[in-house]
Amino acid sequence: MKNPCYEVYKNGTLLCKAGLDTEAGVLTGILTWVRRTDGSESNTLSVSGLNSQENISLSWVDEQVEAGDEITIKVTDDTEFSEASIRPPFDAERHQRDKIKAYYRLKEELKDYLKDEGLE
């Protein structure tokens, strides 16, 4: 089986032809709507992938969508793809630092609760 190619259209306009020329990989097309507790919102279309052999994350599309937009993904076996941007690889050390920062932030935020529950 050939690797799939995703032809992604927004309102009839071709945004990209996403695909991977590799033995192992991941290809995704995702619509995401988020409303945060502060009231801010986002509604995005993202098309991305992972070259699993080389552990390279790729991105073709990351843009806002709105009511009335028509998104079409046509799956083909085309072997010519749009150029993707390469996303920085996962940084385990940075991830650990971020978790430690979150721990101290939550510890401070919850100090009264922890004290009241005898959990400090």
* Residues ≥6 apart with Cβ < 8 Å to 11: 69, 70
Q: What are the pLDDT digits (tens) for 11-55? A: 999 999 999 999 999 999 999 999 999 999 999 999 999 999 888
Q: pLDDT digits over 57-111, tens only?
A: 999 999 999 999 999 999 999 889 999 888 776 778 888 998 999 999 998 888 8
Q: Which residues touch 7 (CB under 8 Å, ≥6 apart)?
A: 14, 16, 17, 73, 74, 75, 76, 78
